[in-house]
Chains A and B, each alone.
Chain A
Amino acid sequence: MSLLNNYAYYAGAFGLIFIGLYVILTKRNLIKVIVGLGILDTGVNLFLICLGYTSKGTAPIFSRAGLDAELMVDPVPQALVLTAIVIGVAVLALALSLAIRLYQHYGTLDLRKIREQRW
């Protein structure tokens, strides 16, 4: 039971990662692929946050004096995730702008039809 409790969080995060990867690999519509990229980013960020958890921990903020440092979670993965979320947003914004221009050029978002660059 505790094993399930422990690994449920990892399973959730990696479930999202695999859903995202599956969407990127199999879908034909560019917007769906970009959404899949977003799901992949979310999954990776969830996984990173899971790394920092200590049991019965709370947020590492000393809002009043005398809080116990032992009961605080690891702040480093939270800092990593802050950076990773912003980078993910930046990539998605750029991808969406490219999708807009691609639609203006080709009139379709079907990736199988957008293959002018041949061998």
Chain B
Amino acid sequence: MVNPVLLIAVPLGLAFAIPLLALLSKAAARYVPPVASGFNLIISLLLLPEVLHNPAIVSIGGWQPPFCISLVAGPVGVLFAAIIALAGLLVSVYALDYIREGATGKYHMLYLFLLTGATGVVLTGDIFNLFVFFEILCISSYALVAYQGDRSGIESGVKYLIQGAVGSSLLLIGIGLLYGQFGTLNMADLAEKIASVGSMSLFVPMVLLITGLGVEAAIFPLNAWLPDAHSSAPSSVSAILSGVAIEVGLYAVARVVFTVFGASSIFLFLAFLGVLTLLVGEMCAFSQDNIKRMLAYSSIGQIGLILFALAIATTHGVTGGLFQLVSHTLSKALLFLAAGYMIYRAGSMEISALEGMGRKMPLTCFAFTIGAFSLVGLPPFIGFPSKFLVVRAALATQETIFIVLISVALLGTVIEGAYFFRVVQVLYFCGGRHEKSSNTIKKEESDPPAGDAPVTALVPMFVFVALIVIVGVYPRLVTDVLGSAASELLNRLDYIRSVFT
């Protein structure tokens, strides 16, 4: 069996080696992230069948837990690692041509570090190690948002950084309180000791941890940074932030709530928070003119839906939540990638400037439309079985409160459909008039290249489209993996036992 440490160590080593490679050949730096993500994808797909029922516990340094840091490569961890690697690979292929100006070597280093941080967060079994890899993820995303150095990027970067740094300090205080009371940092050991004390006496550390992790997970009201950051960043960065970074943040929240604390009494509160996030996100998205800001608010809405599904806390609910998460990663990344070239061609981020783009860039707009339909939840795309699973899980609980909440969530879906259909209508059914608006972005050449997006952008987009359609038509391909992942998240005792044997 392959050692799961390679999933973290090899991309890290390759990222450290990029400056050395850049000395040999200037253009070599942009091929390193696809190679590293491809390697990660292969390793995680090889690991996945083996860890489906027995998580692989790897201790770093050869010591016994809890005296060492252990990696817990269970179905959740390896599934997330595979998704991070897949999205990372496709977006890095897109970035081969998209990132052309500025210090490109540094972009690729930061990008690879973001993916490494995300993989580390999902695989670790130690709470301080979670903090360290979480910081790797956050700091590389601050730097990537501000990467282009333009006015909106730097402003968004500063606001994101300050909110994120305050969140991390709160997270560290929470970890300190836990260590002071229980004397261990290993998540399974903490879970065992917390089980004997009862989780409600640990209200303050739990709130601190959820708040600290929730800033990155974009839970309302901690998500003020997200619309600015995701809309001002370059489109490949927006794709990976919306597709990977906030999902990994939500995974961290779920891991802390389910496994470490086992706090069944706050699930209802989290469900309310999820629906509130959903409503705020969808309603703000509806009123947007800027397409990337609209997509960013839509990300907030989807995170709210995933949080609600996870807070249902039955096997069906968590499976639905994880399925919705996978579907969001694929669809939202596709939407941002397509929007990137549409904006470049139109010269502006306003939706009205994209009129008639369906004729000028047929393939890109087709991909965008597929992504939009999938996010809204139309069959035969992946959004449909995932949303259906969530609704069915909410109805199966037989409690009125969840039925009320899911109806509110469906209202949010209707609003989502409204604004996405409006964009699709602008793309295809309006005339070819092209209005100049005040929100133009600076371009290097005088005219953008005619025709569709280049091949390096179309290939990843259509791989996303293919995955969306295939998994949408045959959801059985992924549901048993998701089911094992859900049961790993929910069964604390199995987790504790597997780490200590």
Contacts and interface: CB of A to CB of B under 8 A. Distances in A.
Chain A–chain B contact at Cβ < 8 A: yes
Interface of A: 17, 21, 24, 30, 33, 37, 40-41, 44, 47-48, 51, 76-77, 80, 83-84, 87, 90-91, 94-95, 98-99, 101-102, 105-106, 114, 116-117, 119
A106 to B, nearest CB: 7
A51 B179 contact: yes
Interface string B154-187: 1111100110011011001101100110000100
Given A76-B185, A117-B228, A117-B232, A91 B165 contact: yes
Most chain A CB inside 10 Å of its own CB: which residue of B152, B172, B173: B172
Nearest to B129: A83
A77 B154 contact: no
Contacts of A30: 158
B465 to A, nearest CB: 31
B98 to A, nearest CB: 22
A119 B166 CA distance: 23
B142 interface: yes
A94 B142 contact: yes
A80 B227 CA distance: 33
A110 to B, nearest CB: 13
Interface string B118-156: 000000000010001001000100110010011110111
Contacts of B132: 83, 87
Contact of A114 (B149, B155, B161, B165): B155
Given A76-B185, A106-B151, A116-B151, A95 B165 contact: yes
Nearest to A99: B158
Nearest to B132: A83
A41 B149 contact: no
Given A24-B166, A30-B158, A95-B162, A76 B151 contact: no
A114 B232 CA distance: 15
Contacts of A84: 172
B170 to A, nearest CB: 9
B158 A77 contact: no
Contact of A37 (B156, B162, B173): B162
A18 B146 CA distance: 29
Contacts of B166: 21, 24, 37, 40
B439 to A, nearest CB: 11
B161 A116 contact: no
Contact of A40 (B146, B169, B180): B169
Contacts of B149: 101
A76 B165 contact: no
Contact of B139 (A83, A90, A114): A90
Contact of B169 (A41, A51, A90, A101): A41
Contacts of A114: 155, 158
A96 B408 CA distance: 43
B135 A87 contact: yes
Contacts of A91: 139, 161, 165, 168
13 contacts: A17-B169, A37-B166, A44-B169, A48-B172, A51-B180, A95-B165, A98-B157, A101-B149, A102-B154, A105-B155, A116-B155, A117-B152, A117-B227
